[in-house]
Amino acid sequence: MAKLELMGLRKSFGATPVLHGVDLLVPDGEMLVIVGASGCGKSTLLRLVAGLERPTGGRVVLDGRDIIGLDPSARDIAMVFQNYALYPHMTVFDNMAYGLRIRGLSRADIRRRVEEAAGLLGLHDLLRRKPRQLSGGQRQRVAMGRAIVREPKLFLFDEPLSNLDAKLRVQMRAEIRRLQRRLGVTSLYVTHDQVEAMTLGDRLLVLNHGRAAQFATPMEVFERPADIYVAGFIGAPAMNFLPATLARGGTAVQLQAGPLIPLADGKRDQPDGYPITVGIRPEHLIVAGDGLELAVDLIEPLGSETVVHGRLASGGQALVVKLAGAAPASERLTVRPDPTHLHVFDRENGQRIEPIGTVMVPIPLAPAETAG
């Protein structure tokens, strides 16, 4: 296992900056998921760590050693790609063994490592097959096995599940997480899929145009997004945003669309009338007798829940509501935000506005030691 540190990591392609000085510390054995919209720099960051790109500035320190100047083959890092990158003319065994043969390991050591990895991944019966004889999920397990046999200090995953169907993605996601925990290898996992991000990561790094928008546990990112970008990116369906102002001495918000809503989590320090954006997730809008009147455009029945798409009667702004069970069969729906789940953002800079006296507890960079 190894600790990974990124210090002021920057990358530009010509005059176009892609990463703007990313600082990061990933403790031994942690799974960090890097997530963000297309073009935010997440794959570039992974390639810089792997040595497939050279940074414009900054340092990459693995287990206390700056590896920027090292060739990718000398970094003790194993990478799992989106497209599997298997040799089609080789058997599963040979695909997994190839890198070890190049390093000059003995036949006995190679066989031991390959068989151990095959046992972990359920590949024993497939070792004599070639990639064309495998399903997508089996090919991905072979690609993971090829990384495991190297016994690296660091695993890098570059959207490894994006080519699989939905059911197989769920299965492989669980396998990757279980395997990473069992092996205890420090890992970086890049994805644009927020479900993967929330379920796989010990912590998330949310990138926005090459900058770290938030670095926290998945639940903290979900429950206390640092800004409007993070709030809108994490969660499905996406969070609704409504223009509003602070009211009643910072203890309530006045929505432009209508109702005054108390702030259940405490008072804000800004004056009455201060322009804000209120965020409310679709599942936190409650059907009520009064509140926000919605003209229904589309109803998506999903079995145990229903997603309703509509527009506010006052102003025509789009709003999405997620309801438990079936939605009422109506062209109109009146909903009210749950005051215990409001998110308040500064309308000008998009940053979260916390209640007065809120203490932001930093997340420990390494697991706390158990008292003996």
Say whether pLDDT at 212 is over 80: yes
> Which residue ranges form the domains of the chain, and what is each CATH number?
4-231 (3.40.50.300), 238-346 (2.40.50.140)
Say whether pLDDT at 365 is over 50: no
Q: Give me the phi and psi of 346, to 5 degrees please.
A: -65, 125
pLDDT above 90 as % of the chain: 70
Say whether pLDDT at 26 is over 50: yes
pLDDT digits over 116-128, tens only? Answer: 999 988 899 999 9
pLDDT digits over 308-330, tens only? Answer: 999 998 778 999 999 988 777 77
Give the pLDDT band (50/70/90) at residue 210.
Answer: very high
Measured CA to CA, the distance from residue 170 to residue 56 in angstroms comes to: 37
Predicted local distance difference test score (pLDDT) of residue 267: 93
Predicted local distance difference test score (pLDDT) of residue 364: 43
The mean per-residue pLDDT over the stretch 35-40 comes to 90
The mean per-residue pLDDT over the stretch 228-237 comes to 93
Task: Return the structure tokens found at 97.
Answer: 């063994």
Cβ-in-10-Å burial (0-12, 13-18, 19+) of 115 comes to middle
Predicted local distance difference test score (pLDDT) of residue 325: 83
> Can the peptide bond before residue 237 be classed as cis, meaning omega within 30 degrees of 0?
yes
Predicted local distance difference test score (pLDDT) of residue 338: 93
Say whether pLDDT at 361 is over 70: no
Task: Return the structure tokens found at 212.
Answer: 């770290």
Mean pLDDT of all residues belonging to the chain: 90
Which of 43-47, 66-70, 165-169, 249-253 is the least confident region? Answer: 165-169
Predicted local distance difference test score (pLDDT) of residue 1: 61
Give the pLDDT band (50/70/90) at residue 163.
Answer: confident
Q: Which residue has the tokens 């809120």?
A: 358
Across the chain, where does the E strand assignment appear?
A: 4-13, 16-26, 31-35, 57-62, 65-66, 77-80, 154-158, 186-191, 203-208, 211-216, 240-247, 252-255, 260-262, 275-280, 285-301, 305-312, 318-324, 332-337, 343-346
Say whether pLDDT at 360 is over 70: no
The mean per-residue pLDDT over the stretch 44-55 comes to 94
CA 110 to chain centre: 35
Say whether pLDDT at 366 is over 50: no
Measured CA to CA, the distance from residue 178 to residue 173 in angstroms comes to: 9
pLDDT digits over 236-291, tens only? Answer: 899 999 999 999 999 999 999 888 999 998 999 999 999 999 999 999 999 988 88
Which of 187-196, 264-273, 357-366 is the least confident region? Answer: 357-366
Predicted local distance difference test score (pLDDT) of residue 289: 81
Predicted local distance difference test score (pLDDT) of residue 304: 87
Say whether pLDDT at 2 is over 80: yes
Say whether pLDDT at 362 is over 90: no
Predicted local distance difference test score (pLDDT) of residue 161: 86
The mean per-residue pLDDT over the stretch 338-367 comes to 79
The mean per-residue pLDDT over the stretch 230-239 comes to 92
The mean per-residue pLDDT over the stretch 134-157 comes to 91
Give the pLDDT band (50/70/90) at residue 368.
Answer: very low
Say whether pLDDT at 61 is over 70: yes
Measured CA to CA, the distance from residue 46 to residue 48 in angstroms comes to: 5
Predicted local distance difference test score (pLDDT) of residue 137: 86
- Check if the beta carbon of residue 218 is closer than 8 Å to that of residue 252: no
Say whether pLDDT at 363 is over 60: no
Predicted local distance difference test score (pLDDT) of residue 359: 57
Which of 45-54, 201-210, 339-348, 354-363 is the least confident region? Answer: 354-363
The mean per-residue pLDDT over the stretch 119-141 comes to 91
